[in-house]
Amino acid sequence: MTKSSAIFTEALKAGRKSLLETEAKTVCIEYGIPTTKFELTKNEDEAVKAAERIGFPVVLKIVSPDIVHKSDMGGVAVNLQNSKSVREAFGQITKNVKKHNAKAKIAGMLVQEMAPASTEVIVGAVKDPQFGPAMMFGLGGIFVEVLKDVTFRVAPVTKDEAYEMIAEVKAYPLLKGYRNTPPADIDAIVEILVNASRLVMEHQEIKELDLNPIMVYKKGAKTVDARIILE
């Protein structure tokens, strides 16, 4: 059994409706979708050691089967520059989460590398009752949330279709570079779209996939947050 199959089986058996970020990113990596480096930790000392291994600055995030939108409850701290800030953030996040949901089960604290700011894109998948899984693409921030500048294709998507998707959003010119922003690695986005399409085709237990945001660089791309909702 593959690592991904084991993760899905275990989550479904436990009656969970979504994967933890650690699980979702492990699945992503197995499918060739690059993510930020991460380590799951249980206490402040472990978090500091993980941060030292990963390299500062780091990001801390709550990992809980009861929390889907982490930053809504103060469950994310970015740009932590040293071990003192890691310790402080560990305590603060734990406090924030307990305040919002005293009963939330906590699986641990995720320490991850801080992905440098860049052009952000979103790759997603939703299941249409008639056509099955469909892939979604858009640029991050206001482009998706305010302008609804997104495009869809029924999965599986080929490389050519992935290029078409990227080229047809209105914000596409931004990926070609502007002012101080260098051109984004479009091939890297294509690869993520094709691999994410393969993932949802091979795992029909996925109801929704949300890679949001993905930082795209001059060379390569990195998934910063991955959400997988189960049927």
Binding region for ligand ADP (CB under 6 A) out of 11-19, 69-77, 99-107, 128-136: 69-77
Pair 125, 27: CB distance under 8 Å: no
Q: Give the position of tokens 């995030």.
A: 61
Residue 71 interacts with ligand ADP (CB under 6 A): yes or no: yes
The residues of the shown chain that bind Mg ion, judged by CB under 5 A, are 225
Q: Is 109 a binder of ligand ADP (CB under 6 A)? A: no
Q: Is 33 in the site for ligand ADP (CB under 6 A)?
A: no
> Are 208 and 231 contacting, i.e. CB atoms less than 8 angstroms apart?
no
Closest CA to 210 of 16, 14, 24: 24
Rounded to a whole number of angstroms, the minimum distance from the CB of residue 59 to ligand ADP is: 4
Say how many residues touch ligand ADP, by CB under 6 A.
14
CA angle (131 as vertex; 130, 133 as ends), nearest 5: 120
Segment 198-217, which members bind ligand ADP (CB under 6 A)? Answer: 213
Candidate residues 7, 11, 51, 76; the one interacting with ligand ADP per rule CB under 6 A: 76
224 scored as a contact of ligand ADP (CB under 6 A): yes
Smallest Cα–Cα separation from 25: which of 12, 44, 10, 40? Answer: 40
